[in-house]
Amino acid sequence: MAKLRVGCPMWAHRPWVGRFYPPGTKSGTELGLYSSWCNAVEGNTTFYAQPSTDTVEKWREQASGDFRFAFKVPRVITHEKRLSDVATEIRSFLNAIEPLGDLVGPVQIQLPASFAPDQVDVLFAFMRRLPAAWSWALELRHPRFFDGSIAHRRVDEYCNQYGVGRIVLDSRPLHAVPATSDAARDEMRNKPDRPVVLDAVGANPIVRVIGEDRPDGTLDGLLAWVPQVVAWIDDGREPFVFVHQPENLDSPGLARAFHEAVAAEIPDLEPLPAPLGQTSMF
């Protein structure tokens, strides 16, 4: 069956208790519930710290068999050491998540906005050394990687050559309206408004849709992706679409609503699981 992966930036979001998770849900048990709402997660937790063996074992026990983690490599690799001399850190990270087996989807390499085209040789050397047994995806934020320049084209060529997908950061819904909360203002500062580039997304396109405070506005931004996602699926790809909001109050319901919209266009799309302890969609 055709498959679409949808999810959120996290699973242990306590405001979802009593809304998407049953009242009284204990901290540390949310992943099992989340994996009944969504079939993927962005996995931001690994950006901040490498998980322990015990933590990974708990994740493996709670996640369903068809679930996928799209972990981010730790920031020590991307933001502190900026991809230089990181072979030890990459191997340590992959060893940490390897017990999850098939639950691991594309591994995300999120670079800071200060990582500029004059550093592409460092990026290319890093990409050449990535273990081919893993699926990789790259997120760039410096504006000169989006202007059609030589650097832009070279990155796409390398991504295609080494099987590394480029992550699409779509912050248009966030920047389309004035911020109405401190969280939205923080998101506007942290999530740049970059052109949408689709030239080298690979076999598992990853789209991160950064929405606004209102669920309706975020949903409008999501629904604009339906034709492209349908085309990717028709082309034999398995896309990942992650839903962000400034406070992520409605993200699981929005992710499912997007999946339903795509399913309306693709009748044989594999359905999402039935939510455990469902309370509301929004």
> Rounded CA gap, 23 and 33, in Å?
12
Query: Whose CA is closest to 126, among 178, 176, 73?
Result: 73
* pLDDT cut 70: percent of the chain above it: 98
Q: What is the CA radius of gyration of the chain?
A: 18
pLDDT reported for residue 279: 58
164 forms bridges with which residues in the sheet?
A: 136
- Count of Cβ atoms closer than 10 Å to residue 208 Cβ: 21
What digits encode the pLDDT tens for the residues 81-127?
999 999 999 999 999 999 999 999 999 999 999 999 999 999 999 99
* Core vs surface per residue 64-85: b (16+ CB within 10 A) or e: eeebbbbbbbbebbbeeebbee
For each of the domains in the chain, give its residue range(s) and CATH number, in order of start. Answer: 5-263 (3.20.20.410)
pLDDT reported for residue 149: 82
pLDDT greater than 70 at residue 281: no
Token pair for 199? 């030239």
- Count of Cβ atoms closer than 10 Å to residue 180 Cβ: 12
pLDDT reported for residue 64: 82
Strand ranges inside the chain, DSSP E: 5-8, 40-41, 68-69, 107-110, 136-139, 164-166, 168-170, 206-210, 240-244
Find how far residue 102's CA is from the centre of its chain.
17
pTM: 0.96
What digits encode the pLDDT tens for the residues 221-262?
999 999 999 999 999 999 999 999 999 999 999 999 999 999
Q: Is the dihedral angle over the CA atoms 253, 247, 245, 58 positive or is it negative?
A: negative
* pLDDT cut 90: percent of the chain above it: 92
Phi, psi of 276 (to 5 degrees): -85, 130
Distance in Å from the first CA to the final CA of the chain? 28
Please indicate whether residue 212 or residue 282 has the higher confidence score (pLDDT): 212
Task: Provide CB contacts within 8 A for 184, sequence distance 6+.
Answer: 174, 212, 213, 246
Using the 8-state DSSP alphabet, how is residue 198 labeled? -
Antiparallel, parallel or unpaired: β 240-244 and 206-210: parallel
Q: Do residues 126 and 86 touch, judged by C-beta distance below 8 A?
A: yes
Strand ranges inside 123-252, DSSP E: 136-139, 164-166, 168-170, 206-210, 240-244
Going across the sheet that includes 5-8, the strands are: 68-69, 40-41, 5-8, 240-244, 206-210, 168-170
pLDDT reported for residue 148: 80
- The pLDDT mean for the chain works out to 95
